[in-house]
Amino acid sequence: MRYDLCLPWYWEYDDAFVNMVERACIEAGISLWQIRPDNLLESITALYKGVTTFKTLLHRGQGDTTFDPIPRWAQEFGARRINPAEVSAWSEDKATMHLELITAGLNTPHTILLPPFLEQPVIAPIDLTPLGGNFVIKPSNGGGGEGVILGANTVEQILHARMEFPEQKYLIQAHVAPRVIEGAPAWFRVFYANGETHPCWWNPKTHIYAKVTAAEEAQWGLGRLRDVTKRIASICKLDWFTTEIALADDLIVVDYVNDEIDTRVQSQAMDGVPDEVMERVARQLVQIARESA
């Protein structure tokens, strides 16, 4: 049997997203193969024996190496891979993306790039003056805030931070103070999926989302969030991702590309994604599979 879309997953909080994908597949008239821990062995066996195959892969099994044979098969046999691993690895390198974005003319925080500790354990003196009174220290490949230090203000903090992930490059970035609009920080997380953009207000302290309305886009000129996100998409080449953008004097891309998306929805978690946004994302991803069917 050959399925149109294969969806490996194991994280219990992906369940709402998986249900959305399943509904979208039914509406689109395409078949869905869910691979979970309880059918993983038999599924991989069937896949490698050619009993069951698929045309498109939407992989949510990252982080569990027992799922790795599935994307490997997809690459070997030419299946359409949504967010291929090699593209994700390139785009999630913050140091690489920083250079790509500024080359493309997008605004980013003032940033100092440092080589990995293992590559260059002793670095030249750093002039912190352009960064202002405090700054942010980030490993180049950290996700979910791992290894990020906010409110840093000394060279010593930088030197010690480089040893936490010694194989990674580090970004030292100026703190971005967003404007306040109607009592809320003008900080946004924009969801991109297969050509569609979905801007959301996102409070960096509470992590609470609210969808940006059409009226707000018009009133505050927030339609530019979509333009910036599409430009990022043209650079990173991912099928779906999120980006963080702050509005200060102008729009500043603060956290460049994240494709390890937390799919929890607002109806199930206070800090989840608005349900309608995740519903649209699911439909757009299914559209990729439909076009490849």
Residues 239 and 117 grouped into a single domain: no
Average of per-residue pLDDT across 258-264: 94
- For residue 271, being part of any structural domain is answered with no
CA atoms of 53 and 206, how far apart (whole Å): 43
Residues 37 and 59 grouped into a single domain: yes
Does position 128 have pLDDT exceeding 80, yes or no?
yes
| Residue 135: predicted pLDDT | 96
Structure tokens, 288: 């990729």
Residues 98 and 229 grouped into a single domain: yes
Residues 15 and 76 grouped into a single domain: yes
- For residue 126, being part of any structural domain is answered with yes
Boundary (domain end) residue, out of 174, 191, 209: 174
- Model confidence at 16, pLDDT cuts 50, 70, 90, reads very high
- For residue 267, being part of any structural domain is answered with no
- Model confidence at 58, pLDDT cuts 50, 70, 90, reads very high
Boundary (domain end) residue, out of 174, 199, 230: 174
List the domain range (segments joined by +) for residue 135: 110-174
Between the alpha carbon of residue 111 and those of residues 95, 196, 254, the distances in Å are: 9, 29, 11
Residues 245 and 181 grouped into a single domain: yes
Question: Domain with 61 in it: what CATH number?
Answer: 3.40.50
| Residue 132: predicted pLDDT | 87
Instruction: Quote the percentage of the chain above a pLDDT of 90.
Output: 96
Residues 185 and 167 grouped into a single domain: no
Q: CA-based Rg of the chain, rounded to a whole angstrom?
A: 20
Residues 78 and 88 grouped into a single domain: no
Residues 98 and 194 grouped into a single domain: yes
| Residue 267: predicted pLDDT | 97
| Residue 130: predicted pLDDT | 92
Does position 54 have pLDDT exceeding 80, yes or no?
yes
Please tell me the total count of domains within the chain: 3
- For residue 277, being part of any structural domain is answered with no
Answer yes or no: are the C-beta atoms of 228 and 245 closer than 8 Å.
Answer: yes
Residues 114 and 185 grouped into a single domain: no
Boundary (domain end) residue, out of 149, 174, 199: 174
Specify the pTM. 0.95
Counting Cα atoms < 13 Å in the Cβ hemisphere of 230 gives: 9
| Residue 98: predicted pLDDT | 97
- Model confidence at 293, pLDDT cuts 50, 70, 90, reads confident
| Residue 146: predicted pLDDT | 85
- Model confidence at 265, pLDDT cuts 50, 70, 90, reads very high
Q: How do strand 53-57 and strand 80-81 relate by DSSP bridges?
A: parallel
Residues 89 and 229 grouped into a single domain: yes
Residues 224 and 92 grouped into a single domain: yes
| Residue 145: predicted pLDDT | 76
Average of per-residue pLDDT across 103-128: 96
- Model confidence at 233, pLDDT cuts 50, 70, 90, reads very high
Residues 143 and 240 grouped into a single domain: no
